Amino acid sequence: EIPGADATVPVAEKLIAANPKQAAAYRAGKTALLGYFVGQLMKETRGSASPEIVNAVLVRLLSRPENPA
């Protein structure tokens, strides 16, 4: 569990679900896409989320196997 991540996790999950191609590419090894997700999440939260927490949450969620819809 990541301290302070409560508000960030649902936004990150929604963002990953909305971008399945990028998430799949990240999981396939294109880790540079993390920057894309961080940027989108920061835009979604209007910069209110901590970049460290955003990174940690996204890495954790994107490292999980893809959830079947």
Could you tell me the two tokens for 68? 């079947």
Q: Residue-wise pLDDT tens for the chain (69 aa)?
A: 566 788 899 999 999 999 999 999 999 999 999 999 999 999 998 888 899 999 999 999 999 876 544
Burial 6-25 (b: 16+ CB within 10 A, else e): eebbebbeebbeebeebbee
Looking at residue 65, what is its pLDDT? Answer: 77
Looking at residue 22, what is its pLDDT? Answer: 96
Q: Which residue has the tokens 């990953």?
A: 16
Looking at residue 69, what is its pLDDT? Answer: 43
